[in-house]
Structure 1
Amino acid sequence: MKKKILIGWREYIDLPEWGVRKLKAKIDTGARTSALHVENIKELNSGKIRFDVILHREHRDRTVRVVAQPIKKAAVKSSIGVKTSRWFVETLLRIGPVEQRIKITLVNRSEMNHRMLLGRTALEGAFLIDINRSYLLGE
């Protein structure tokens, strides 16, 4: 059995294919799918989508523009039970020493403290979570 890595309830992550570094993510085992705060989603003629990843809640100038191939657009139920239509994309996640491909839904999380939620499917098999601690993999 592979040894699991201990992480806190929030960690810094990278999405290296998109040039996103040190993004604060909340570890959310209650969510199946990961969710990323984005704005200005636009469908392009090429079939791809373009969106802006807002890296910091208080420093809106810290933005990365991304063009990605969507997997699908589907209805997703939020934590309060409201269904919304969201784009799904796939990219490489780096959390500590682990790199793996994950699926992410794109959503407006502007009212939330963390730009990203990491759901169960992104975490399964590789991590143990200490709910009392944060940033165990460093800042």
Structure 2
Amino acid sequence: MTQGAPERIVLGWREWVALPGLGLPWVRAKVDSGARSCALHVDAHWRFTEGGAPWVGFRVAPGTGVPIESIAPVLEEREVTDSGGHRSRRVFLRTTMRLAGMEREIDINLSDRRGMRFPMLLGRTAMAGAFMVDPSRSFLHGRPSGGVVHSLKKPR
């Protein structure tokens, strides 16, 4: 590390991540420095307008098996290319991520990851400047503490 540069937190190739603003106390994430953006599996999502601005509602069933519905303002929509080279237009939102005792704002897209082992993909833009990955290790930081933030609550 360069003198004066902040020490980066080491993550394993998979970690537990909390998304408290979305009502998710923890979700299993694959840490992927090869992926640019973060993706969250949702079972369903729908668009609506509130106060003249675009919003998205969605349903996700985290590891607890109990479906959680949440809403968030739409940050943007853009084309994303998946690891198989397929392009699709996805909704992005901004939310707080809690990982390894740190909270930071991340952009995350809503996706159908039904066939994947991990409901969340943690991409390099969310890790930039704070984390580095040791691919030989996993679940270094345990499950985040804290309860579920009530669903269908507007983010702060």
**Shorter-chain TM-score: what band?**
over 0.9
TM-score, normalised to structure 2's length? 0.83
Cα displacement (A) at 1:45 = 3.4
* Distance in 1 of aligned mates of 2:122 and 2:76: 19
- Give the CA RMSD over aligned residues: 1.2
Cα displacement (A) at 1:54 = 2.2
SS at match of 1:3: coil
Following TM superposition, the consecutive aligned residue runs of length 4 or more in structure 1 with deviations greater than 3 angstroms are none
1:48 maps onto 2:48 in alignment:
no
Q: 1:71 is aligned with what amino acid? A: L
Give unmatched runs, 5+ long, in structure 2.
Answer: 144-156
How many aligned residue pairs are there? 136
Alignment of 1:6-25 (within 5 A): 6-25=10-29
1:126 maps onto 2:130 in alignment:
yes
Contact 1:16 1:92 in 2 (8 A): yes
* Distance in 2 of aligned mates of 1:67 and 1:138: 27
TM-score, normalised to structure 1's length? 0.92
Q: Residue 86 of structure 1 aligns with which residue?
A: 90
Contact 2:58 2:70 in 1 (8 A): yes
Q: 2:132 is aligned with what amino acid? A: L
* Distance in 2 of aligned mates of 1:42 and 1:34: 19
**Which of 69, 74, 77 is equivalent to 1:65?**
69
Larger proportion of strand: 1
1:101 maps onto 2:135 in alignment:
no
Cα displacement (A) at 1:13 = 0.5
Q: Residue 79 of structure 2 aligns with which residue?
A: 75
Contact 1:54 1:115 in 2 (8 A): no
Give unmatched runs, 5+ long, in structure 1.
Answer: none
1:37 maps onto 2:41 in alignment:
yes
Taking only the aligned residue pairs, the percentage that are identical comes to 36
Q: What per-residue deviation string (whole Å, max 9, x for no partner) do you get for residues 83-131 of structure 1?
A: 1111011100000111100000100001100000000000011112110
Contact 2:44 2:60 in 1 (8 A): no
